[in-house]
Amino acid sequence: MALRSNSTVRSINLSSNQIKKEEAQSISEILKNNTTITSINLSYNPLGDGILFITECLKLNSTITSINLSKCFKSDTIIASIDHSGNQIKNTISQFISECLKLNSTIRSIDISGNQVGNEGVHDILEGLKSNSTITSLNLSDNQIGKPGTQSFSEFLKLNSTITSIDLYLNQLKNEGAQVISECLLSNSTITSINLCENKIGNEGAQFLAEALKFNSTITSLDLSENQIHKEGALSIADCL
């Protein structure tokens, strides 16, 4: 590929191109040695096992700051790989991403939306982020995250001091998840933007969030659109502003 010798391209968009395992492997080989590309968009490609090559190269790449993996796999499936000692390893996709995030120190923004990782998958990803101190923007929208997943989020955000933007659009938080998120907002002082759009949050959830906002002084953007909030919940939000 021409990118092997190119030293001027900073951003590359390969979304919606039917990139699969073989192509992903070729891309990863280039990224291992490339020192100029800072942003790569691989969204809407059926990467499958190819995600393994991408996450492995990100462990070595020190220039990429933004990566979009939205809609790259249908579920948090198990992938078998061979480690450097010749041992077979079986991990879920989210576990491979988690290991990558533990070692990468340059990525600032990651989009894993629309991949249906579920509660266990988000737990694995957040475990990787516990060791990461550079990512500031995290998009986990449309991933079937419910209350157990938000519990993992809450525990993580109480300790994290780098993430400023979180997108949880189109998950399954409901009132219980909104309560968990609101509790973590009481102690987190770095998040400035959070998207909770389309999460079946009702008046009760809105009231929990409103109480948290009374004590939180860093949130500047909160998206609660397309939920199930009526007059009572809306008034609670209005009262805290």
User: How confident is the model at residue 234, as a pLDDT?
Assistant: 95
Q: pLDDT tens, position by position, for the chain (241 residues)?
A: 566 667 889 999 999 999 999 999 999 998 888 889 999 999 999 998 888 899 888 888 889 999 999 999 776 665 544 443 444 444 578 888 998 999 899 999 999 999 889 999 999 999 999 999 999 999 999 999 999 999 998 889 888 999 999 999 999 999 999 999 999 999 899 999 999 999 999 999 999 999 999 999 999 999 999 999 999 999 999 998 8
What number of H helices and E strands is found in the chain?
8, 10
Backbone φ and ψ of 202, nearest 5°: -105, -160
User: How confident is the model at residue 85, as a pLDDT?
Assistant: 40
Backbone φ and ψ of 98, nearest 5°: -60, -45
When the candidates are 3.40.50.300, 1.20.210.10, 1.10.3720.10, 3.80.10.10, the CATH number that belongs to 7-111 is: 3.80.10.10
Which class for 221: exposed (0-12), middle (13-18), buried (19 or more C-beta within 10 A)?
A: exposed
User: What DSSP character marks residue 40?
Assistant: E
User: How confident is the model at residue 90, as a pLDDT?
Assistant: 42
User: How confident is the model at residue 158, as a pLDDT?
Assistant: 85
Whether 7-111 shares its CATH topology with 145-241 is answered yes
Q: pLDDT for 185-236, tens place per residue?
A: 998 999 999 999 999 999 999 999 999 999 999 999 999 999 999 999 999 9
CB 97 within 8 A of CB 125: yes
Distance, in Å, from the CA atom of 49 to the CA atom of 93, rounded to the nearest integer, reads 8
* Of 56, 57, 61, nearest in space to 89 by CA: 56
CB 128 within 8 A of CB 98: yes
User: How confident is the model at residue 78, as a pLDDT?
Assistant: 58
What percent of the chain has a predicted confidence (pLDDT) above 70?
Answer: 90
Distance, in Å, from the CA atom of 170 to the CA atom of 173, rounded to the nearest integer, reads 9
User: How confident is the model at residue 59, as a pLDDT?
Assistant: 86
Strands (DSSP E) along the chain, which ranges? 11-13, 39-41, 66-68, 78-82, 88-92, 109-111, 137-139, 165-167, 193-195, 221-223
CB 210 within 8 A of CB 237: yes
User: How confident is the model at residue 76, as a pLDDT?
Assistant: 66
The letter for the amino acid at 129 is L
Long-range CB pairs of 80-86, under 8 A, 24+ apart, other chains included: 81/52
Class of domain 145-241: alpha beta
CB atoms within 10 A of CB 53: 23
Two structure tokens written together for 44: 């809407």
Which sequence spans correspond to the domains of the chain? 7-111, 145-241
User: How confident is the model at residue 61, as a pLDDT?
Assistant: 87
User: How confident is the model at residue 5, as a pLDDT?
Assistant: 67
